[in-house]
Amino acid sequence: RPRVVINVPLLFARERREISKMLKHEFIHLGQLHRRPVGLAVGGWDVKNQEEYFSNKDEIMAFAHSVTDELISMGAKSVEDGIKLLSRSRMWAWIKDNAKESALKRYRKYIYFYLKLELEGEA
C-alpha cells in the first residue's frame, strides 16, 4: 500500500493537496497491479528516459489522472471546461514535451475518461 511518512510539525492545505494527488497516482498503479496475473509486477522503467517513461501504458493511466486532478483544481466544472483548460496545464505541457505522439492519443482518451468520472460520476 502506498504510504507517506512526514516528520514535520505542520502541513499546509497546499501540501496536503499535493500529497493527496501523489497518493491517487500511486493508487492507480496499485489497481493495475491487482488486475495483473500473480507474479507480473509493475514498474521498473527508467525514469531518466522520459520519452519511454511517459509513453508507458501504466504511467499514461496514472499521469492522465494527475492531469485531470490539476484541471479540476484549475476550476474545471465540466468535461468541456477541462478540455479547454488542458493547454494551460503545466503537467500536460511536461508530458507533451516528453511522450511519444502515439502515447498522447492515449493520454487524451484517459483524461477525457477521468474528467467524466470525476465531474459527472460516469465514464
> pLDDT at position 117, please?
95
Predicted TM-score of the model (pTM): 0.80
Query: Mean pLDDT score of the chain, rounded to an integer?
Result: 88
Distance CA 42, CA 26 (A): 11
Q: Quick one: which of 40, 38, 116, 42 has its CA closest to 83?
A: 116
pLDDT, tens only, 10-41: 888 888 888 888 888 888 888 887 777 666 66
